[in-house]
Every structure is written in structure tokens, then in C-alpha cells.
């Protein structure tokens, strides 16, 4: 009889984002109007030019495998785009690998660059897949919480204590899912010194790089010693609202290129060829939509933050990027799951409990719906939160 493998026993199957979405969709089928604050993807359409290019490609000859690292023109486009942003020259021949989303760029890196039992440091709260990916790769995830509160400050004492002779890699993500926070320039300097000192490989997940409302983008490659040890993971998914196309990429130092390519080949052979053609076009003509979208998301963020100020006793850092806000609901004296269930049942607002991202007593608000819906959802949030808060206060004073 089939016996569950040890690695699958370590991977949770419940308590995640997909379940909240399923419960919300069921309520919608039953006629309830739901505000979706649980979905981590932009609500915008993909750029029309990209759609046309992909349609033409599929009607034409782009229906076969592409080269393993991706279509040459896409690798060149990515090298040029990222090179401009980072002030670097990337070689499309031995640094760019087009993957099925950022998630595959990360999985490929974990598989190719760790041996069984190697440890991977993960700054939390974080995108939930990291932990499971590391386990699937046969390595060991070691989570290191950051200090939330006003800023997303890395706790360097904790980080030092987490290092063992088996520590091989570290992954982090700024702007961050689920907090929307960014790593400060000072913390980035110290983090890079730490990485070099311990001779680690870094994965910088830059999926939300474009979604920055304050401050300057992270440039990890500008720090001494980082170019030869950093993999940049990114995707067309969020900035071009192309989550379903499954086009992402890894930018790697040349010495890791053939290993990452090999694993990518073994997982997928190559990324969908006509999706890649669409991505080429998105780079050429989709950037004005990205700009508009991000301006709009900035307004949504302000609506969320203004509403949270009306919640008594709620604690929340001011997110500088991504499209998430991650307040603490600790003062309500209930679990995040209990709070999310009440919000969904009573107010029809779908949120994700912070536990899914490695932090209890917090909830993630994804402002991935039009600003009017964000406003409506936050009115409901404030009403429900304040009612629960005042009942708790009354109970406390009895
Ligand atoms: C931080 C982070 N990394 C990676 C991903 C996965 O991106 P993709 O859909 O491009 O695989 C997500 C998706 O939500 C994310 O939030």
C-alpha cells in the first residue's frame, strides 16, 4: 500500500490562501457579494499587445519547444530591461533562464544548489511556498522572523544564531508578500555582509519590485561580493498582470547557469513558447499599463491605511510596496483564522490568516480589486473589527 513520504508529511495541505478563496467562491455561488482581499494577483487585464502577440504566435509557428533557457529574443529583452534597472550588463547566453513563473525560478535554484540536509534561511513572514519548496528539494528550511512593527527590520542576532555548518542559502523578498514592507538600505548592507561572511548563496525574490510607492528599489547586486552569489527571481506575473501565462525568470551568475538550466529542463523542458512571445511584447509595449496600474494601486493602499487608522488598537506597519497590508489583530484576543471566518461570514470580506505566511495574529489584506471595492471592503472591515474590539473591552471591564 502507498505510504505517505516523509517529505510530504512535512508539507501542510490546509490553512492556505486557496482554501479561503474556495470558501469565498462557494458563498458567491450561493448569492453573497464577496469582496476579495485574499487574492495575491492584480485584477488588471494583461497588456493587449501581449495578448495579440501570443495569439499570433499560437496561430503561427510558436507551438513547439523553445530553447531550454527560453526564446533568444526574450532572454535578450529581460537582460536589457533588468540591466537598465540594476545598472548592470547581463549576458543572455549564460545568465538568463526563462521559467514557469518566479516560483519555478526559486524551485530550480533550491534543487540545483542544495544537497540533501543543507539548510536554507528564510526571512519570515514570507510567501508560503518557500518552506515547502525547500523541503521538496531535500533541504531543510530554517525560518528567521524579522521585527515587524514600524519597519521590516532584520534581526541580525537571530540570523547569526540560525547559521550552522550546513547553512547554504538564504531567500528573501522585498517588497514583501505578505507585509508590503521593504528592506532598508542599511539592513541590505548588513545582510549582504552577513551573506558574504558565511559564504551563502542568496535568492532575491523581486516579484514586486515595480510595486514601490515610497523609497528606491533594492539593488542587491551593487553590494560588494553579491554578483557572484545572487540569483534574482522575478516574473511577468505581477508587473504585467500575467499570472496565468506562467513566464518568470532567474538571473544567475554564469557559474550556476548550466545547473539551473538542467533542473529547468528536467522539470518543464521549456516555458510555453507562445507565452514567451507575449512576454517579449509586454516588455516592448506593456510598461505604460504597468505604470498606470501601480499609480492606481498606490491610491488603493492609501484607502486601506486610512481605514485601518479608524480601527481601535490595531497595529500595522506602513507598507512601502507590493499590494498587501498586514495588520496585527492581536488585541481582539482571537486567532487570525477566527477573525477571518467572522469577516467572511458576517461581512463577506475574504482575508488570509497570517499563519499561512508564518505569523499568527495577523491578517493579510490584498488590495487587488478596484478602488471602490477596496473602500467598501475596508468599511466592512472597520465596522466588524471595532464591534469585536468593543465587545472584548466590555468583557474585560466586567
Ligand atoms: C513573493 C512571491 N514570490 C513568488 C510568487 C510566485 O510568482 P509566479 O506566479 O510568477 O510564479 C509569488 C506569488 O504570489 C509571490 O508573492
* Same-domain status, 177 and 88: yes
C-alpha dihedral sign at 367, 368, 371, 372 = negative
DSSP labels for 343-377? IIIII-EE-EEGGGGT-TTBEEEE--S-HHHHHHH
226, 271, 256: which is closest to 109 by C-alpha? 256
Residue 218 has pLDDT above 70, yes or no: yes
Instruction: Verify that 156 and 281 share a domain, yes or no.
Output: yes
Any domain includes 395: no
Stretch 284-295: mean pLDDT: 94
Residues 152 and 173 in one domain: yes
38 and 68 in one domain?
Answer: no
**Which one-letter DSSP state was computed for residue 98?**
E
Question: Which run of H or of E encompasses 54?
Answer: helix 48-59
More confident residue, 12 or 320: 320
Question: Could you tell me if residue 243 is inside a domain?
Answer: yes
Same-domain check for residues 14 and 63: no
pLDDT over 70 (residue 198)? yes
d(CA 339, CA 311): 14
166 shares a domain with 266? yes
Q: Tell me, using a 6 A CB cutoff, whether residue 250 lines ligand 1.
A: no
Buried b vs exposed e over 85-120: b needs ≥16 C-beta within 10 Å? ebeeebebebbbbbbbbbbbbbbbbbbbbbeeebbb
Pocket test of ligand 1: the residue of 98, 237, 357 to mutate, having most ligand atoms within 8 Å of its CB, is 237
| Residue 398 located in a structural domain | no
Per the structure, the complete domain to which residue 357 belongs is given by 6-45+288-388
User: Does 168 share its domain with 296?
Assistant: no
Q: For residue 135, what are the β-bridge partners?
A: none
C-alpha grid cell, residue 164:
550552522
Nearest CA to ligand 1 atom 13: 40
Mean predicted confidence (pLDDT) in 118-135? 96
Whether residue 394 is predicted with pLDDT greater than 90 in this model: the reply is no
Question: Residue 27 maps to which CATH number?
Answer: 3.90.1150.10
Could you tell me how far CA 33 lies from the centroid of its own chain?
27
271 has a pLDDT exceeding 90: yes
Indicate whether residue 133 lines ligand 1 (CB < 6 A): no
Q: Which of 172, 203, 238, 272 to mutate to test the pocket of ligand 1 (most atoms within 8 A of CB)?
A: 238
Tell me the CATH number at 176.
3.40.640.10
**Does 393 map to a domain?**
no
Q: Which of 285, 306, 340 corresponds to the end of one domain?
A: 285
What backbone phi and psi angles, to 5 degrees, belong to 114?
Answer: -125, 155
Does the pLDDT of residue 15 top 80, yes or no?
Answer: no
Shared domain check, 166 and 54: yes
The pLDDT tens digits for 32-59 are 999 999 988 999 999 999 999 999 999 9
For residue 171, the cross-strand partners are 122, 203
Q: Which residue's C-alpha comes closest to atom 7 of ligand 1?
A: 102
% of the chain at pLDDT higher than 70: 98
- The position carrying cell 479561503 is 20
Mean pLDDT of the chain: 94
pLDDT tens figures, 144-186? 999 886 567 999 999 999 999 999 999 999 999 999 999 999 9
Residues 158 and 83 in one domain: yes
Same domain, 314 and 381: yes
Please say if the pLDDT value at position 318 is more than 90: no
Q: Do residue 144 and residue 237 come from a single domain? A: yes
pLDDT of residue 12: 82
Say if residues 396 and 322 touch (Cβ distance below 8 Å).
no
Are 363 and 354 in contact by the 8 Å Cβ rule? The answer is yes
Say if ligand 1 is within 6 A of residue 180 CB: no
Closest CA to 245 of 395, 89, 99, 398: 99
pLDDT digits (tens, 9 = 90+) for 64-101: 999 999 999 999 999 999 999 999 999 999 999 999 99
Q: What is the pLDDT of residues 222-255, one digit of tens each?
A: 999 999 999 999 999 999 999 999 999 999 999 9
Which atom of ligand 1 is the closest one to the Cα of 237? Answer: 10
- Check residue 182 and give its pLDDT: 94
The count of domains in the chain is: 2
pTM comes to: 0.95
Least confident of 1-10, 62-71, 241-250, 338-347: 1-10
CA dist., res. 388 & res. 398, Å (int): 16
Whole-number Å distance, alpha carbon 337 to ligand 1 midpoint, is 23
My answer on whether 157 and 229 are in the same domain is yes
Amino acid at each position: 500500500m502507498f505510504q505517505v513520504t516523509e517529505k510530504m508529511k512535512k508539507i501542510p495541505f490546509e490553512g492556505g490562501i486557496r482554501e479561503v478563496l474556495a470558501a469565498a467562491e462557494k458563498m458567491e455561488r450561493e448569492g453573497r457579494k464577496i469582496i476579495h482581499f485574499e487574492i495575491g494577483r492584480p485584477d488588471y487585464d494583461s497588456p493587449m499587445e501581449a495578448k495579440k502577440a501570443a495569439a499570433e504566435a499560437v496561430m503561427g509557428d510558436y507551438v513547439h519547444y523553445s530553447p531550454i533557457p527560453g526564446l533568444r529574443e526574450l532572454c535578450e529583452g529581460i537582460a536589457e530591461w533588468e540591466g537598465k534597472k540594476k545598472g548592470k550588463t547581463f549576458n543572455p547566453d549564460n545568465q538568463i533562464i526563462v521559467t514557469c513563473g518566479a516560483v519555478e525560478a526559486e524551485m530550480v535554484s533550491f534543487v540545483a544548489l542544495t544537497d540533501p540536509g543543507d539548510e536554507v534561511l528564510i526571512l519570515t513572514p514570507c510567501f508560503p511556498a518557500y518552506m515547502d519548496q525547500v523541503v521538496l528539494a531535500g533541504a531543510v528550511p530554517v525560518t528567521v522572523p524579522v521585527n515587524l512593527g514600524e519597519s521590516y527590520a532584520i534581526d541580525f542576532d537571530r540570523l547569526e544564531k540560525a547559521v550552522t555548518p550546513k547553512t547554504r542559502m538564504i531567500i528573501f523578498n522585498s517588497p514583501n508578500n505578505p507585509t508590503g514592507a521593504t528592506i532598508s538600505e542599511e539592513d541590505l548592507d548588513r545582510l549582504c555582509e552577513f551573506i558574504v561572511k558565511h559564504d551563502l548563496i542568496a535568492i532575491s525574490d523581486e516579484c514586486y519590485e515595480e510595486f514601490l510607492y515610497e523609497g528606491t528599489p533594492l539593488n542587491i547586486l551593487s553590494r560588494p561580493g553579491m554578483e557572484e552569489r545572487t540569483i534574482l527571481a522575478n516574473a511577468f506575473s505581477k508587473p504585467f498582470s500575467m499570472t496565468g501565462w506562467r513566464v518568470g525568470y532567474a538571473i544567475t551568475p554564469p557559474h550556476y547557469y548550466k545547473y539551473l538550466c538542467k533542473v529547468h529542463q528536467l522539470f518543464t523542458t521549456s516555458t510555453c513558447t507562445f507565452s514567451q512571445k507575449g512576454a517579449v511584447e509586454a516588455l516592448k509595449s506593456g510598461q505604460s499599463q504597468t505604470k498606470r496600474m501601480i499609480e492606481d494601486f498606490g491610491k488603493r493602499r492609501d484607502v486601506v491605511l486610512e481605514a485601518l487608522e479608524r480601527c481601535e488598537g490595531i497595529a500595522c506597519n506602513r507598507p512601502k510596496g507590493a499590494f498587501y497590508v498586514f495588520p496585527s489583530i492581536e488585541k481582539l484576543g482571537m486567532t487570525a483564522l477566527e477573525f477571518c471566518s467572522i469577516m467572511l461570514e458576517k461581512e463577506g470580506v475574504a482575508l488570509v490568516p497570517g499563519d499561512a505566511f508564518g505569523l499568527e495574529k495577523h491578517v493579510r489584506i490584498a488590495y487587488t480589486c478596484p478602488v471602490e471595492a477596496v473602500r467598501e471592503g475596508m468599511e466592512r472591515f472597520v465596522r466588524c473589527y471595532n464591534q469585536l474590539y468593543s465587545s472584548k473591552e466590555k468583557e474585560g471591564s466586567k
